[in-house]
């Protein structure tokens, strides 16, 4: 990747126009290669005498084709961070490379062209109400100077992609929130960007609409291999669609990693609170007296699922293999992009030896077993 980039920056290729070079470069941005590299990125706002480090020395790499979540409470600096990436906000210091190109040194004109490679969607959709759905989606194409015939063709594809067929001539005021965000997404994808920035894209939507927009984003991510950076203050958004996540507080990234790792092993206080948002408090369940009292014979097991979607049929497998009774008492399993995560409390009864065999079998899978109580 590095070599290829250098190659195309080589003097021999200086005969190519900037656009042509960028086009060639695009071929080498493959899934898994480095899409974004951010180092020592800071943004300081001055409000009179006061100074706010909205973003404070952030380092981050994001791979091509990944859905990267940034979560934090209000005022953590998430919006500022994402706006620094396409320089809607000018960085105070630090460096940002997108697809191998340094953003911070681009002049105005090159920045404008580069921005056409970076789609952005917003919490409040930010559609032009004076334009129809089709015209809104065509707007970035007009900006990029795409011919009218090609524009109409592309708009059709996009309307199809986001599921807005039949709404082409509607004005934004005639659409629901979810439909507006679909227009926003189609518009952001119009110029075939390699990166999509989403600032609280679902925060203005009800839970069901949120889910439909999130699946659309996953769909796009898979279909187009698009890299997505997703800002949110809701952990379930991260849980549902992100591969990796960074937790922000006071302008800094306090913890980052794969979503499952953060769920199973949150180290920072803020992360723990976010995990509790979707999983509930971890020890609350165990001390549930009624749960314990319901077990007088057999064993009470806690099964922990971390990732591995192959474990999904585990319970039925165990029930088939062994002549025992399995009774699910309580459970909390969430689906993440890396498979299910969470725990089940299972009451297992039957012949003592068979019960032990079943437990040994479960232990041979990647599911963690804990015996909470012997009956």
Ligand X SMILES: Nc1ncnc2c1ncn2[C@@H]1O[C@H](COP(=O)(O)OP(=O)(O)OP(=O)(O)O)[C@@H](O)[C@H]1O
Give residues in contact with ligand X (CB under 6 A).
Answer: 45, 47, 52, 54, 72, 74-80, 233
Tokens 């480095």 belong to which residue?
34
Q: Measured from the CB of residue 131, what is the shortest distance to another protein in angstroms?
A: 8
Toward ligand X, which CB reaches closer, 23 or 45? Answer: 45
Which residue of this chain has its Cβ atom nearest to Mg ion in the complex? Answer: 79
β-strand pairing of 299-306 with 93-98: unpaired
The site string for another protein over 153-192 (x = CB under 8 A, - otherwise) reads: ------------------xxx-------------x---x-
Size of the site for another protein (CB under 8 A): 29
Query: Quick one: 79 exposed, middle or buried, by C-beta within 10 A (0-12, 13-18, 19+)?
Result: buried
Window 128 to 157, contacts with another protein (CB under 8 A)? 128-131, 139-140, 142-144
Q: Is 99 in the site for another protein (CB under 8 A)?
A: no
Q: Measured from the CB of residue 49, what is the shortest distance to ligand X in angstroms?
A: 13
Toward another protein, which CB reaches closer, 128 or 333? Answer: 128
- Member of 28, 73, 122, 361 binding another protein (CB under 8 A): 122
Window 63 to 122, contacts with Mg ion (CB under 5 A)? 79
Q: Considering CB distances under 5 to 8 angstroms, the limit depending on partner class, which of another protein, ligand X, Mg ion, none binds residue 80?
A: ligand X
Q: Is 103 in the site for another protein (CB under 8 A)?
A: no
Toward ligand X, which CB reaches closer, 52 or 329? Answer: 52
Q: Is 31 in the site for another protein (CB under 8 A)?
A: no
Q: Is 279 in the site for another protein (CB under 8 A)?
A: no
Q: Looking at 105-113, 216-224, 238-246, 252-260, which segment touches another protein (CB under 8 A)?
A: 105-113
Q: Is 232 in the site for Mg ion (CB under 5 A)?
A: no
- Which residues sit at the interface with Mg ion, rule CB under 5 A? 79
């Amino acid at each position: 990747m590095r070599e290829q980039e250098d190659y195309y920056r080589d003097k021999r290729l200086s005969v190519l126009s900037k656009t042509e070079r960028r086009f060639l470069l695009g071929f080498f941005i493959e899934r898994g290669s480095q899409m974004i590299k951010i180092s020592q990125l800071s943004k300081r706002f001055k409000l009179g005498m006061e100074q706010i480090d909205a973003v404070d020395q952030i380092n981050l790499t994001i791979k091509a084709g990944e859905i990267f979540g940034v979560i934090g409470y209000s005022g953590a600096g998430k919006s500022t961070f994402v706006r620094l990436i396409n320089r809607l906000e000018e960085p105070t210091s630090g460096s940002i490379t997108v697809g191998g190109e340094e953003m911070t040194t681009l002049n105005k004109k090159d920045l404008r062209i580069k921005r056409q490679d970076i789609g952005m969607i917003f919490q409040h959709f930010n559609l032009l109400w004076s334009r129809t759905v089709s015209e809104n989606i065509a707007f970035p194409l007009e900006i990029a100077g795409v011919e009218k015939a090609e524009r109409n063709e592309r708009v059709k594809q996009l309307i199809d992609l986001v599921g807005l067929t039949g709404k082409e001539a509607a004005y934004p005021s005639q659409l629901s929130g979810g439909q507006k965000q679909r227009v926003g997404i189609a518009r952001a994808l119009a110029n075939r960007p390699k990166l999509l920035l989403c600032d609280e894209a679902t925060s203005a939507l009800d839970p069901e609409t949120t889910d439909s927009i999130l699946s659309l984003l996953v769909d796009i991510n898979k279909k187009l291999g698009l890299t997505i950076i997703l800002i949110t203050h809701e952990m379930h958004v991260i849980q549902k669609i992100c591969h990796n996540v960074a937790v922000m507080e006071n302008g800094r990234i306090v913890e980052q990693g794969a979503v499952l790792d953060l769920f199973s092993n949150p180290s920072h206080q803020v992360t723990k609170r976010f995990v509790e948002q979707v999983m509930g408090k971890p020890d609350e369940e165990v001390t549930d007296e009624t749960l314990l009292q319901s077990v007088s014979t057999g064993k009470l097991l806690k099964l922990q699922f971390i990732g591995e979607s192959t474990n999904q049929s585990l319970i039925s497998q165990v029930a088939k293999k062994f002549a025992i009774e399995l009774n699910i008492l309580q459970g909390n399993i969430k689906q993440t992009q890396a498979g299910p995560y969470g725990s089940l409390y299972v009451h297992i009864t039957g012949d003592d030896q068979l019960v032990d065999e079943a437990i040994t079998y479960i232990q041979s899978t990647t599911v963690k077993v804990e015996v909470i109580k012997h009956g």
